[in-house]
Amino acid sequence: MSVIGKSITRVDGVDRVTGRLQYAVDTVLPRMLHAAVVRSTKAHARIQRVDVSGARAMPGVHAVITGQDVPCLIGGMIADQPFLATDKVRFVGEPVVAVAAETELQAQMAADRVIVEYEDLPAVFDMEEALAPGAPLVHEQPSSYRRIAKCQAHDGSNLCHLHEFTTGAEGVERAFAQAERVFEDTFAVPAVSHTAMEPFAAVAVCNPVSGEYTIWAATDAPHRRLSEIAAALGIGSEKIRIIVTAMGGGFGGRGAAIAEMLAVALAKFTDGRPVKVVFSREEVLAASQTRVAAKLTVRTAVTTDGRILARAADMLWDNGAYTSKSPEVAARGGMTVVGPYRVPNISIRSRLVYTNKQPSGAFRGFGTTQTSYACEVHMERIAVELGLDPLEFRLKNGYVEGDSHFCGQRLTGVGLAESLKRAAASVGWGRQKPVVGPGKRYGRGIACMIKGTNTPTVSSCIVRLVADGRLHVLTSSVEIGAGQKTVMSQFAAEASGVTIESVRVSQPDTSVTPFDFGCTSSRSTFHMGNAIRLACEDMRARLFVTAASVFGLPAEGFDLTDSVLSHASGLTLGLREALKKMGARGFEFMGQGTYTPAGSPLLKRDPGNTADDSIFWLFVTHAAEVEVDMETGRVRVLHIAAAHDLGRAINPLNCIQQIEGSVVMGSSLALLEELKLDRGRVCNDSLLDYKISSSEDMPERIDPIIIESDNPEAPWGAKGVGEPAAAATAPAIANAVHAACGVWLRDMPFTPERVLAAIMAQATPEKTVDGHRSS
């Protein structure tokens, strides 16, 4: 019986509902010490003096270390972040001193006694100010940092990374010069926190004899974290082992060695005793990583009948003080500002800027929660001002099967039009507006988006069919909470022919489970799915060869389905029984599979094109119905229809969880979330003041709509679902607000206060500062 397309209950579900799952924060090891961190109270300052003598004298203290003790720089793209600040601090919350003690309380009480004296330096918080000539430099000499080739250093400037792309400058210029209409808008998107419910936590132990580290961590890509930490420590990767624990959500936030870095720093100084680091909620909100704040200016040349001729975008991305994955967000993520549209002329400039703020990094959607908002509100305004139906305008320009992406790749499996039509239908697009209460206005809005996956990347997998008939899947695919283990089990059962109850999916452990690029970029289902398929085929081939010799039958006729071994000749045997006959005790059938899309015919593109291609593309449309309170500016989201082209739903319930969850997160980002800073200090560093959606704040009705499309390389047709999800909600809501009351929302989040200000500004146009509009 096929398990593909079935809503199989979470394979680790019973542990999840009984409280038995061990998260990083639950890790307990013998002789384990606990850490506390002294953090910078200054946004930019030279460290004058660090006095740790008071801390060292406190009871229970084993180690108190400063930046001098760990002169290491970490960063997967640009290694510019010290484990602990050395000569100067660059953001409020930067780790300066770390303490390890017998208990967490003792460590914190010792940390309370550390004295750090600073000499203030001028700080930069605003991206434009940071780029102005003569601005204080966050980093004096970026070129001194270890970095990957595509990240060029810009000494003497706060420009961290520059990414430019054009289909041809001349063509772009000509299109804008000759266009019947040109539109321009500027949008601001704030830094937000991933706010996974489990705070960052890690345990590290260093073997004082061999110098080897073992790290227990909730990380989304253990093999990549391992390389980053090894490079930072300047030791071989064979000296590090990462064991992944269960994790309480990720959303991109577990894509850097945030707690791991501190645990590793201390572990060298505790005589082989393990050290546990657990962030407080304040530290998570103010001193880890954020979504990249961005300021996006988008220009579009169109014909009056709504054909897009050119798109230019100039984007500033706020890196914060240190570099995680933001160069890639600004570059690859930034390209999605074009949207899922056929645009012949494109010019994009993305600049990532150093500021004296908390570092930024990957966030669910990898740039698309910023770019899709800008693109889609801008598109809506073009449609409205041209007098076109926004849905028709999108359908007219949107990608269809076989279109050429601007990277030159021919698009396969394009569910965009269907997603637009079905989401629109679900909110009653084009129908008369329902009557709402006095002082309220009703509106419908729609927004779509495109997202690729990081390509090419690699996933490997080993399967072991053991004597009792169980199939062990050794994979580094991380169960981040989205049901990865369940989907991998479904793939393994389907591909191997054992029942799903016989499948066991391992926890990632870099010394045991093979390489995987990570649980990022909506890639696990597609890539690891393929690796599992290949590994199971490999295993089956070996099984059938042995079966052929044991049972004296030709190998070709064998089959394994539902844990029953059969042969065309009529042989039928339960798998366990068959295995007993096939080998000595301890005999196993293994298979291995490595998948990479590199070289896939689906990636063929125009010669000379430098833009990123993708082994699959995801298309999403969200449509919103809102009610705006004209007196208070409060936006009530009545309904979101969320149509997701995900290829094929391997586990429909899991897909619905992802879609509904993304709508909840998307509307939370749209309406509530923003890290508020005062001279670089986060004011709202608690969940009382950093608001995320509760059950009372989510849209009153959410309709998840699964759109299927064909991608020939997708395992059982599945592309992905987790990431693009939250990106289309905000622009759909913004566009619905416009439909309701005529104001354009160019700054997120759409707080009642901000919406009311827009309504008031519209009512008194002479006061409007309308620098945004050029048309």
Partner 1 sequence: MQRIRPFGYHEPSTLREAAELLLAYRENARILAGGTDLLVLMRRLKVANAVLINIKRIPGLEGVTRHDDGRVEIGALTTVNILESLPHPGCAVLRAASRVLGTRSVRNRATIGGNVGRASPASDLSSPLITLNAEACVYGPLGERLVPMSRLFLGPGRPDLGVGELITGFRIPAQPEARGWYLKAGRTCGSDCAQAGVAVQLHLDGYHIREARVSLTAVGPTPLPAPQTEAVLRGALAGPEVFAQAALVAADEARPLTDFRASADYRRVLIKTLTVAALTTAYTGECTCSHQA
Partner 2 sequence: MLASGLNGITLRVNGRDHELAVAANVTLLEALRENLGLTGTKEGCGHGDCGACIVLMDGHAVNACLVLAVDASGRDIVTIEGLAEGGQLHPLQQAFLDKGAVQCGFCSSGMMLSAKALLDANPDADAELIRRELSGVLCRCGTYPRVIEAVLSVENGINRSGGEG
Strand partners, 45: 89, 120
Neighbours of 410 (CB within 10 A): 16
E runs forming strands in 54-103? 61-66, 73-74, 81-82, 88-89, 95-101
Minimum Å gap between C-beta 419 and partner 1 is: 29
Among 106, 195, 214, 530, binds partner 2 (CB under 8 A): 195
Residue 56 binds partner 1 (CB under 8 A): no
- Interface mask (CB under 8 A) for partner 1, residues 643-672, using x and -? -----------------------------x
Among 227, 592, 600, 684, binds partner 1 (CB under 8 A): 684
Residue 688 binds partner 1 (CB under 8 A): yes
Neighbours of 425 (CB within 10 A): 16
Positions in 232-291 near partner 1 (CB under 8 A) = 278-282
Pairwise CA distance, residues 88 & 92, whole Å:
12
Residue 198 binds partner 2 (CB under 8 A): yes
Query: What Rg do the C-alpha atoms of the chain give, in angstroms?
Result: 27
Give residue for tokens 């100067």.
88
Contacts of 149 (CB under 8 A, 6+ apart): none
Q: Nearer Cβ to partner 1, position 195 or 751?
A: 751
Only segment of 37-45, 161-169, 502-510, 681-689 that touches partner 2 (CB under 8 A): 681-689
- Interface mask (CB under 8 A) for partner 1, residues 185-224, using x and -? --------------x-------------------------
Residue 395 binds partner 2 (CB under 8 A): no
Only segment of 92-100, 345-353, 502-510, 676-684 that touches partner 1 (CB under 8 A): 676-684
Pairwise CA distance, residues 590 & 556, whole Å:
19
Q: Nearer Cβ to partner 1, position 199 or 591?
A: 199
Q: How many residues does the chain have?
A: 775
Residue 102 binds partner 1 (CB under 8 A): no
Backbone angles phi, psi at 404, to 5 degrees: -95, 125
Minimum Å gap between C-beta 702 and partner 1 is: 15
Query: What is the maximal distance between C-alpha atoms in the chain?
Result: 91
Pairwise CA distance, residues 339 & 375, whole Å:
6
Q: Which helix (H) or strand (E) holds 246?
A: none
Only segment of 107-115, 137-145, 470-478, 569-577 that touches partner 1 (CB under 8 A): 107-115
Q: Which amino acid is at 176?
A: F
- Interface mask (CB under 8 A) for partner 2, residues 240-269, using x and -? ------xxxx-x------------------
User: Exposed, middle or buried, 169 (CB in 10 Å: 0-12/13-18/19+)?
Assistant: exposed
Only segment of 225-233, 317-325, 508-516, 687-695 that touches partner 1 (CB under 8 A): 687-695
- In whole angstroms, how far apart are CA 155 and each of 123, 124, 137, 215, 349? 17, 16, 9, 35, 19
Contacts of 740 (CB under 8 A, 6+ apart): 441, 442, 443, 626, 627, 628
Among partner 1, partner 2, none, what binds residue 17 when CB lies within 5 to 8 Å by partner kind?
partner 2
Contacts of 313 (CB under 8 A, 6+ apart): 296, 297, 298, 299, 334, 337, 338, 347, 348, 349, 350, 374
Residue 632 binds partner 1 (CB under 8 A): yes
Q: Evaluate whether 612 touches 335 at the Cβ level (below 8 Å).
A: yes
Among 143, 178, 207, 686, binds partner 1 (CB under 8 A): 686
Among partner 2, partner 1, none, what binds residue 22 when CB lies within 5 to 8 Å by partner kind?
partner 2
Positions in 432-461 near partner 1 (CB under 8 A) = none
Minimum Å gap between C-beta 471 and partner 1 is: 39
Residue 629 binds partner 1 (CB under 8 A): yes
E runs forming strands in 224-366? 240-244, 275-278, 290-291, 293-302, 308-320, 345-354, 360-361
Pairwise CA distance, residues 536 & 461, whole Å:
9
DSSP class per residue in 486-532: HHHHHHHHHHH-S-GGGEEEPPPBTTTSPPB--S-TT-HHHHHHHHH
Among 434, 689, 701, 774, binds partner 1 (CB under 8 A): 689
Only segment of 131-139, 154-162, 600-608, 678-686 that touches partner 1 (CB under 8 A): 678-686
Q: Which of 676, 672, 675, 674 is nearest to 696 (CA)?
A: 672
Pairwise CA distance, residues 516 & 519, whole Å:
8
Residue 696 binds partner 1 (CB under 8 A): yes
Minimum Å gap between C-beta 696 and partner 1 is: 4
Minimum Å gap between C-beta 751 and partner 2 is: 19
Among partner 1, partner 2, none, what binds residue 21 when CB lies within 5 to 8 Å by partner kind?
partner 2
Residues touching partner 1, count (CB under 8 A): 33
Only segment of 227-235, 359-367, 460-468, 752-760 that touches partner 1 (CB under 8 A): 752-760
Positions in 90-149 near partner 2 (CB under 8 A) = 105
Q: Which amino acid is at 129?
A: E
Among 5, 60, 742, 752, binds partner 1 (CB under 8 A): 752
Positions in 454-483 near partner 2 (CB under 8 A) = 480-483
Q: Evaluate whether 520 touches 252 at the Cβ level (below 8 Å).
A: yes
Among partner 2, partner 1, none, what binds residue 481 when CB lies within 5 to 8 Å by partner kind?
partner 2
Positions in 271-300 near partner 2 (CB under 8 A) = 280-281
Only segment of 92-100, 228-236, 246-254, 685-693 that touches partner 1 (CB under 8 A): 685-693
Q: Nearer Cβ to partner 1, position 697 or 708?
A: 697
Strand partners, 567: 558
Among 57, 105, 550, 568, binds partner 1 (CB under 8 A): 105
Q: Which of 640, 476, 13, 522 is nearest to 252 (CA)?
A: 522
Only segment of 155-163, 462-470, 596-604, 684-692 that touches partner 1 (CB under 8 A): 684-692
- In whole angstroms, how far apart are CA 188 and each of 316, 373, 624? 10, 10, 21
Pairwise CA distance, residues 84 & 596, whole Å:
37
Q: Nearer Cβ to partner 1, position 438 or 608?
A: 438
Among partner 2, partner 1, none, what binds residue 634 when CB lies within 5 to 8 Å by partner kind?
partner 1
Positions in 636-665 near partner 2 (CB under 8 A) = 653-654, 656-657, 660-665
Among partner 1, partner 2, none, what binds residue 16 when CB lies within 5 to 8 Å by partner kind?
partner 2
Residue 747 binds partner 1 (CB under 8 A): no
Alpha-carbon 737 to chain mean position: 27
Pairwise CA distance, residues 407 & 615, whole Å:
12
Residue 765 structure tokens:
């146009």
Residue 9 binds partner 2 (CB under 8 A): yes
Minimum Å gap between C-beta 479 and partner 2 is: 9
Residue 412 structure tokens:
């396969």
Among 144, 152, 304, 694, binds partner 2 (CB under 8 A): 694
Minimum Å gap between C-beta 364 and partner 2 is: 10
Contacts of 122 (CB under 8 A, 6+ apart): 44, 136
Among 396, 440, 580, 691, binds partner 1 (CB under 8 A): 691
State the residues that interact with partner 1 by CB under 8 A: 104-105, 108-109, 112, 199, 278-282, 629, 631-632, 634, 672, 676, 678, 683-684, 686, 688-689, 691, 693-697, 751-753, 756
Residues that bind partner 2 (CB under 8 A): 7, 9-10, 13-14, 16-23, 25-26, 105, 194-199, 246-249, 251, 280-281, 480-483, 653-654, 656-657, 660-665, 668, 686-688, 692-696, 698, 702
